[in-house]
Structure 1
Amino acid sequence: MSIGSAKILVALLALLLATACSPLTPVNLLVPDDTYTLMADQPYGENERQKLDVYMPLEGAAEAPVVVFFYGGSWRSGNRADYAFVGEALASRGIITVVADYRVYPEVTYPAFVEDSAAATAWVRRQQDSWQTKRQPMFVMGHSAGAYNAAMLALDERWLSEHGMNAQEIAGWIGLSGPYEFLPIINPDVKPIFHHPDTPETSQPFYHAGPQSPPALLMAATPDKLVDPQRNTGQLTEKLRSAGVDVETHYYESLHHVTIIVVMADPLQWWEPVVDQVHDFVMRHSRASSEPDS
């Protein structure tokens, strides 16, 4: 796509963001569908929302790292099919990419969506035995509320341990515009989800960050008004670095809360190098990671 055409799409996205229409619909229509093999509607649980889609690279899947991606939506909404552009962006670059649904409010409250994220990740880990001769490094990734889910899996060992996994099986994690420390809760939409005013401190990813945490790639949009980039990405970066954890952090002046994930789509990758930085982080830490006995 030319720069001129991409600018038209940007204008369209800006219009859609001001309406009730999802900006992801036109994005996915413009994303290639011949750069990966899709394994759709894979169940990792019995609930209708406990399903995931797997985007396989056309070549080299047996030796490819794996990224499990969780979308945002304030733990109230979201659909894995809307994030086909994320699956395509990474699978076309040689990364097995899994986009998982999880249960949301009002069907569930904290910590059920974290439990679902852990179950999906454990399902993928087991499936690697049929995809690969040797399990390759695994990463968890998310945007907004999904970044919270990914952070909880990476930083709080309780969730994956329920599925027989240990912290060393996560080679790294990636968070885009994630809420990592949001007590006391101000957003009225989030209060019932986290049992306000009785929200446990242990529900906050920031609480669990320490020397045992895996490498992190944290990304945020400086103008973000929904999730404060300094309180969340900035504070977590500082805490992890002070604990000796390898953290790579990027801030983007030209993006906001939604466009930071949308620019991963093929037609918009010229805008900011988000997908390049995710790919580079995964590949670098895949090379550095040694597979534990399992």
Structure 2
Amino acid sequence: MSSRIRLSRPLLLGLGTLALGLGLTACSNTNPQDALNRAVNTRGLNVVTDQRYGPDARNLIDVYSPPNAKGAPVVLFVHGGSWQNGDKDGHKFVGESLARAGYVTGVMSYRLAPQNRYPAYVQDTAAALKWLREQAGRFGGNPDSLFVTGHSAGAFNAVEAVVNERWLREAGVPIGAVRGVIGIAGPYSYDFRQFQSRVAFPENGTPEQVMPDRHVRRDAPPHLLLVAANDDTVHPQNALNMEAALKKAGVPVTRTVLPRVNHITIAAAIARPLTFLGGTRQQMIDFIERHKVPTSR
């Protein structure tokens, strides 16, 4: 029996409407992903939940892996929410989608602001990378074929955790361990002092001290920066600045603007039932396939 999800046209359209409506509640305390998560099922996948990667109550990760995986690429996904909201439970659709693509996928939660300001959530991302790399073989993954991706604030975390070698080094992750980074609608280069999200950063801090585009190391891995053409939450200049910083350091980077999607639907399009919204999922898969460690025959 095929594991492909078969949904009726009305349900697909309803999910599309839901996803479009998510833009109205972006980065709020609501959890509109619930309906989307209910529309996907993990039957046939191996799923382990609430694995602890650190000491905080939110240092938990769920792992979705293909059946009989052997030497599969390993992907860590970091959720968004202005560093103040969100969790792994709202992103079951990401774990399911990437596991169906053949990847061992970790979906993590992290410490939230304002109680935990930068760099706490970046340190959590690096700690989760360490845990996932060390546990990869348990799930059929290749620890040397490690990727990290995130949406919105999670894209900031993913990029900063890798381009700034401080965080991998402090977490005990080999600097060259990550094969690639995928940022989805990330705020990599902005003056947080002008926005409500300033509560996620140090008081009296400056963009020069915290923004990923200021921290790029020359030996960082390839990056894919996905931009929503209709994003009215994160300005596209963020990706332009990040791309320029990576290129200046000699780091391979591709910046792709996806048509039709907004700040929320660019992430919703990772879900297999919602790929008609945009090309996010296929862009991610293509990037991972280009940069993964080749499997031996």
Give the drift of 1:131.
3.9
> What is the distance in 1 between the residues matched to 2:272 and 2:190?
33
Partner residue, 2:43: 34
- Does the 8 Å contact 2:129/2:173 carry over to 1? no
Deviation at 1:280, TM superposition (A): 1.3
Q: 1:226 aligns with which of 215, 230, 233?
A: 233
1:29-81, CA deviations, whole angstroms, 9 ceiling, x for partnerless residues? 1112214211101011222101110001113x221010011000111011101
Asked if the contact 1:102–1:117 (Cα under 8 Å) also holds between the matched residues in 2, the reply is: yes
Return closer, same or farther for 1:185/1:55 CA change in 2, 3 Å cut-off: same
Distance in 2 between residues matched to 1:8 and 1:132, nearest whole Å? 36
Partner residue in 1 for 2:283: 277
Amino acid at match of 2:131: W
* CA deviation after TM superposition for structure 1 residue 232, in Å: 0.8
Q: 2:189 aligns with which of 181, 187, 195?
A: 181
2:206 corresponds in structure 1 to 199
What one-letter code is carried by the residue in structure 1 that aligns with 2:230?
Answer: P
* In the alignment, structure 1 residue 263 sits paired with structure 2 residue 269: yes
* 1:211 Cα deviation after fit: 2.7
AA at the equivalent of 1:213: A
Distance in 2, matches of 1:2 and 1:122, equals 41
- AA partner of residue 283 (structure 2): Q
Residue 4 (structure 1) shift: 4.8
Distance 1:289 1:74 in 2: 37
**Any unmatched runs of 5+ in structure 2?**
1-6
How many correspondences in the alignment?
287
CA deviation after TM superposition for structure 1 residue 277, in Å: 1.1
Instruction: Specify the code of the residue in structure 2 equivalent to 1:38.
Output: V
1:55 aligns with one of 64, 88, 92: 64
Secondary structure of residue in 2 paired with 1:220: strand
Looking at structure 1, the residues matched to 124 and 172 of structure 2 have their Cα atoms a distance apart, in angstroms, of 15
Q: Deviations over 1:202-227 (max 9, x none)?
A: 31100122431210111011221211
Cα distance, 1:202–1:17 mapped onto 2, change above 3 Å: closer
Q: State percent identity of aligned pairs.
A: 37
Instruction: From the superposition, tell whether residues 289 and 226 of structure 1 become closer, same or farther in structure 2 (CA, over 3 Å).
Output: farther
Match of 2:163 among 148, 155, 171: 155
* 1:266 Cα deviation from its structure 2 partner: 1.7
1:105 equivalenced with 2:113 (yes/no): yes
Structure 1: which amino acid aligns with 2:61? L
Work out whether residues 64 and 136 of structure 1, in 8 Å CA contact, stay in contact via their aligned partners in 2: no
- Tell me which amino acid in the other structure corresponds to 1:73: G
Residue 140 of structure 1: aligned partner:
148
Judged with a 3 Å threshold, the aligned counterparts in structure 2 of structure 1 residues 132 and 284 are, in CA distance, closer, same or farther, namely same
CA distance in 2, matches of 1:271, 1:198: 38
Q: Matched residues in 2 for 1:122 and 1:174: separation?
A: 18
| 8 Å contact from structure 1 (residues 160, 166) kept in 2 | yes
Matched with 2:222 is 215
**CA distance in structure 1 between the partners assigned to 2:146 and 2:205 by the alignment:** 34
Q: Which runs of 5+ in 1 are unaligned?
A: none
User: C-alpha displacement at 1:109, in angstroms?
Assistant: 1.0
Q: CA RMSD in A?
A: 2.2
2:3 corresponds in structure 1 to: none
Q: 1:253 to 1:151 in 2, by over 3 A?
A: same
**Residue identity opposite 2:243 in structure 1:** T
The answer to whether the 8 A contact 2:155-2:186 is kept is yes
Work out the CA distance in 2 between the residues paired with 1:196 and 1:62.
46
